[in-house]
Structure 1
Amino acid sequence: MMDTSQFSFQIGHVVRENETTLNADLSNVISSNNVTSFENISFFLATRKYPNGLNLNQKRTLRKAATNFSLVDNKLYYIGKNKTDKRLVILDEEGKKQVFEDCHGSSIEGGHGGQKKTLEKIESLFFWRGMVKDVIHWVTACEICRHKEKRCNQLYKKAKTVDFVNDTSQSSDTCQDDITTGENPTNGIYETAKYSMEQIELCLQKIQHYELEVVNMSKTAEVEIDDTLDFLLAKIMKLISRKKREMKIQVEEQKIRSLNLLKTFRKQFEGRLKTIRKLILDVEKATKDNQPWSSPKNKSAVSLPEMLKREELGGIWSVFNTDEAHEEIGKIIKKCGNISEQPPYIISNILQLPASLRIQISHAACENQPLFRDAYEMGNFTPTRSLRLYHCIHNPAAPIGDESIFHENQIQILKGFSKENYVYLNCLEPHQVYAIYISYREEGSSGWSPWSFPFLASTSIPGYCWETINSAWKISSDLREASKIVNSLTPLFSSSAQYFPGCRISVTLEKIPDIVHAEDGFALIDQGVQGGTLNQEGTFFVNVEGKLFINGKLCDAIDPLSLANTTLTFDCHPNIETIADGLRMQLTVHCRNESHQVYWSVRNHNSNVYFGVRFHQPGARVKIG
């Protein structure tokens, strides 16, 4: 193993200890590069922060790429997916060239060992993108290797040749005279054999080159497949992963077929070379001993076999076509819906919210009749009462994928003065949403309703029915309760009720699923939630076992609550405390005859949080009041 400390090249971007509080300017410079650049990876590993200007998909891509690297003593190392590798990352071109020169020209193992040996030596210690291409280019341009190859060709041309003796009736004297005078009484078989031997050796070198190229192309193909498929991500990750596995299996099978084909040709050429070499030695020995030599009857035994063509390798190159991979993924996307025109790719059924909506208010609201009946696109704005509107981009009907966003709410408050029954909401920017929720405040009331519910019907957006697909909440204006029956396979639901100081939310788990998961339960959420669990940073979570978790950590000071046949209540005290990075809220949790007071620090500054419900299996019934 070669010691990397002997190299004097620059490591490139190294994040020092005092850079953990980088200013905004440097962070902006870093984020302007490629998302998965070594600079961004080094910055993320050193500071555990994202460069400025990255969207959610770019952050996820950077975070995933950084898992293959580690930062040790301010040096970036590639450790691979299995974390068993440790290769120093080389960034600058001078460092890459110096590594090549030291490994290729090293006298430890002979030096100038060709592309395969040089690449194996470099790959065992170092890492950079495009290494295979660089090594092939540099070895091809190496003057010593080129001179070495030229000298070998000259030695072949200078070798003495002796022709076969074709006529057995000729005496040994005739053979000796012919050799002495340099005449050629034979039919040129010996010369043909010598030429064939040279060509076979060249073909063997070409086969070795093809083998190296096939292996390198398969490695390149795996990288391209990962880059191509991972670019699409989103909600069809399961289909993408399946297609990725199929394509990699196809690549592996094609590689094996191609290598087996090359192996067959290798054996054929090596066997022919062995036969010809023996024939040449026998002729030279007979000539030296002045013995007659008869020409072989089968002249094809010393002829040059037909060399394998590159395009005959079973399509090993065509299987790595990136454009075809895009077409295959496009077919998958069409099965799942249309892709948004604007990158990053977002999979439908995400809907474009119109800029103007008209809502008809029903004064005769009852349990089976929602407060807001209809929604139409309009261009006017005539508010009738105070409304609070926000939307959620999580689709409860969709399976939970790779760190999908659970909440991303925007709030619009409208103060009404008219007594008309129609409200026009034209203050909304076009936004991709799954559901729109509304919370209202009665005339003369000082507080908002402690829950909200979907109000859009299929008339507002063609082809999508909110009542049957996205909502099973039933609102009772008399009892102020909402109940939800969970029927999806892996539901992640939120009532999206706004929860703020002075507010109370009560939850009753009327029915539990047959199979209960440890992370099923209820949570207060202060901002966006990633992944398929409510138990994480930024949440106050109570699972079905009654255990309390604050920001993803178990609260040991409180014994598990008994949630069976009882109501769980969250009280938020009116007084809140402003801290450095947000707010500190005082909560009281009531369950049966127990009350526990806890403090929860949230990172937003508007004191509004949201209530969420999560069950992995169907069959749960939850009532919120």
Structure 2
Amino acid sequence: MSDKMEIADTLKAAQSYLNRLKNLNNKIQNAQKQISDTSRETEKNVEVSFGSLLTNLTQILLSRKDDLIKRVQETRNQSLKPLEECQADVYNRIEKTQKLISEGELLLNGTVRNLNEFSEKSSSLGSLPEIPELKEVPYISFQYEPNLKAELLDLCSQFGEVSRIAPVQISQTSEKPGAILVEWHSVENDERCVDIQEFRLQRAFGDVNAEKHLMANFSDCYIGLESQFLVKDLQANQPYSFRVCCKFEGSNEWTPWSLPQVTVTTIKSFSWADNKDFLLANENKIATPIKNLPSLLISDGPQFAVGYSVEFTYLEFDNKCSTIGLIAADDVTHLENIKCKSHNYFALDSTGEIYVDGVKKSTKLPEAAKGLKICFMCELIHGDKVRVNIDTCDKQVTYDWQISKTDKLYFAALLNSPASKIMVE
């Protein structure tokens, strides 16, 4: 019996080992496919690029050659014309002079006796037309700058580059509510990465690895020096593709793109819970009170969590004291205020005052106004304490909050009249 059990355990271990080997083989096949596919695509790009360059250079050089020859011909024709006119005058004078000589010889022989006519014709002798010296007429030539030719040939010899791997790669993607946090890093063996001027992140709807035609849908979502970016306004459970590149100091060209990373967020976007005292719009992200009374608006469930950030925007502001903030509570059904002893809270009044669990803090932020954005960010310090940052108007405050990372967290807003409107993202 023990032998059978030992054999069964061995078979189970062997099957597990076989599965792992098959997984490794699949990874190897995927890697081989990536190398083969990208090399073929790169060969095609090289052929197309050099074919286009060769065509363009040939057209440019032939056009330049034809233009220079045309200039030579124009210069020759313009320069020869006055000489041809002068030559015609000389030929005419030669003909007249030869005729005069013939008549003079006839006079000497006594054949012709019209001396007066001969004397009259001889009066033009000694008058010569002006002919330019050789140094005064064009000496047509062609020249070019040897260094320019060498530079052109050198540029052609260095045109294009084949990269083994892009200098920047996406390192991690993290799900956020209606968003994905994309992080990237530079390749360690690329010495140029110390001179990175800026990064460029793009996204495309769908899986570009499975559907290549979706590559045409990539569009910019971030350009800057940060090595991470929170891409917002994404649909839950829908695949998105991301890629990143960079630009080195002193260069105007972007590097090759990183390997596309495909990911999804399964967490729906932040939204307000249905409330009879508010008019909700834009998928419940925007709320407007319908009464001239203080009314509490709460998130649609405990949507907030440690590691998240939430941004409030006052689209309209009624100049009355309002409050926004975070609530840690198991049940918020009957709450009428954010600042309540029955639960933990982290709140910011529109006056700029900050309250944490009933304690008013000494630091004060700018007062609320139309268009003001306030961002709450929550990070874990240890099991029973988190740290909350509030950012607004380029000012930031940070306080510890005595809650657990497992507490249910809601975001909330207390507004006073229909003249106010708030959006959450």
Common fold by TM > 0.5: no
Q: Which structure is larger by alpha-carbon Rg, 1 or 2?
A: 2
Bigger fraction of residues in strand = 2
Q: Larger RCO: Structure 1 or Structure 2 (Cα < 8 Å, ≥ 6 residues apart)?
A: 2
TM-score, normalized by length of structure 1? 0.24
TM-score, normalized by length of structure 2? 0.34
